Chain A
């Protein structure tokens, strides 16, 4: 009996130990797709992700300007990056922007998502309007905001009491603020969608029970809705963090890493080195560091949050 149960739910089984192959004749494996189904995707992934990644790793130990043949220079690129103040600054800026993104977008998208999951009047229409920023490309969004924030003819000109002389892109603090704002403006709708789906999946019986017990709307939100959104929150946060670490277009178009190097985040620094400075070796090293960092951070989030052994949130309800 026990074997049958484990083979029915292999994902919940112990991670360590011998890998058990479910008996081919077992009734539980019927309908489980074979490995062959994953093959095309795996091939594509290997061709367009793994192979380039390996090439980037090799290139990070070379000096190459794109014209002359690449030369092996050992760990030169890496040791230079370690001492590069701009690199250190870019890491700090990347983390700061990522953190700002998570802090701004999470509460906003939870509130909007839970609201959008309800049945209020006009909800559907307003939800569609809120969703529009996500439909625009990041490039279009950035060009749009750069024009809207022109100090002499944009919003700052009409709201001098708030923006002062409007030099938003000329100072580090305000430039970072603009970057965080624009990403929030664009990506909140996406996370709202995640939370909306998750909020819809919360069993209504929980709210009915709470109502009988006399819990008000706010108590219901904090004691039922929020805890039930835990898994969605982890998913959204991982997406935000990975997205934040690899933000690029907004910086490229809004600030070009400036003023000076004040908004040069790591992904932009990679572009700057590789494609503007024609130093593909150093660019590759930064790229690889970003891949490693993103993977580690995602793994940490997964571990700490218990995402890897995520339980269905409806467990124990039915």
Chain B
């Protein structure tokens, strides 16, 4: 009988607990912008650069009636979390993204605000940015993002000492690269370090070779849904050259077990066990952090070599063009958002980004480069990007996010010989383009 008497109380306790739990789950509204609370929520990728973003928000809030609230999501989970909240009341007003395919599904679902009206009122929102960068957030002819943070072109880095010992000059053409590979092999070092375990570094070789051989049009065609681009002669030629490079042992035999993200390939170059590494411009600060002495004395960098007879301009660049701020259609304060976005080409923004090693893509960046921590390197990058006729966004960012995993698989499998040319072409043709 005793147990009977307790039953209602237990039920009540249990129900209260369950309710409290579900309530607290809903109440986690810090990251939400539900309702009009006179604030703009800005969602950014959580990392060291947040320092600058916080500074700008503070600057903005000093003069504005509508206040900006900065929400951060730890890096590795950003894309997944964004996808989960973007169509809910928790969605922010403005959010960080990679342009290209990373926002295309949101545009298609009608969630994003086209910025052309805001730009009509204030043309500087477009004019103050480098066009090749700005255009990467244009979807179906309409701009959906304003560049923020810095550009990250992919460069060919090298160990000056290793190259000297092998009697090799930094290559300007593909043949010179092949020649360097042979000489480095004779010296007993791995010619090119590659963090194949992460797969995206492997993809960088595809991006550049396709661009040099076929020009940017081939990839744009493929991205637009024309699958025949992948079986074109240029595509096959690029694949043949990759195959040749891998088969000569340019990357050694264990590249798929090496990672960039745990510092494996970085150390290979710094320790003098490898000559080259193809990597985004963040490589310099990575080496500076991991191997300061090497970075300051022996780390060299050049643009990706030209390919003789290729249709692509050797001045073309590939990599991460920049990050962007996109605006949700549902925002209640588009005017305030526009005011906030204007800060992204302000002197304060450029100076603060340069200070932490990022290279903004605004037209006034040029004036401040000398104030950067590594002016020579910043200047090289800036000129490279400013002079580039085309800036190819990384393949996995240009395609819709949902394609990236299958694309990475195909890239890795072709590289290590699990897929032949036809297999790779089929795999790329099977990728969703929207």
Contacts and interface: CB of A to CB of B under 8 A. Distances in A.
Contact of B83 (A40, A149, A169, A278): A278
B3 A259 contact: no
Contacts of A312: none
Tell me what chain A mostly uses at the interface: helix, strand, loop, or mixed.
loop
Contacts, number: 117
Interface in A1-59: 33-37, 39-40, 43-44, 47
Nearest to A275: B80
Interface in A259-303: 259-261, 272, 275-279
Contacts of A75: none
A126 interface: no
A34 B7 contact: yes
A150 interface: yes
Nearest to B411: A260
Contacts of A65: 105, 402
B337 to A, nearest CB: 21
B262 interface: yes
Interface residues of A, number: 39
B346 interface: no
B406 to A, nearest CB: 7
Interface residues of B, number: 50
A152 B258 contact: yes
A153 B34 CA distance: 51
Nearest to A255: B197
B355 interface: no
List the 3 closest pairs (A to B, CB-CB), nearest first. Answer: A34-B3, A170-B256, A167-B254
Given A34-B4, A65-B105, 10 more contacts: A33-B3, A40-B17, A43-B15, A152-B254, A165-B252, A170-B416, A258-B199, A259-B256, A277-B403, A278-B83
20 contacts: A34-B6, A36-B3, A37-B10, A39-B11, A40-B13, A40-B17, A43-B18, A66-B83, A67-B86, A143-B262, A150-B259, A152-B254, A152-B258, A165-B254, A167-B257, A170-B196, A258-B256, A259-B256, A260-B409, A260-B418
Interface of A: 33-37, 39-40, 43-44, 47, 65-68, 143, 146-147, 149-153, 165-170, 256, 258-261, 272, 275-279
Interface of B: 3-4, 6-7, 10-11, 13-15, 17-18, 22, 80, 83-84, 86-87, 105-106, 109, 111, 196-197, 199, 252-259, 262, 264, 267-268, 271, 273, 401-406, 409, 412-413, 416, 418-419
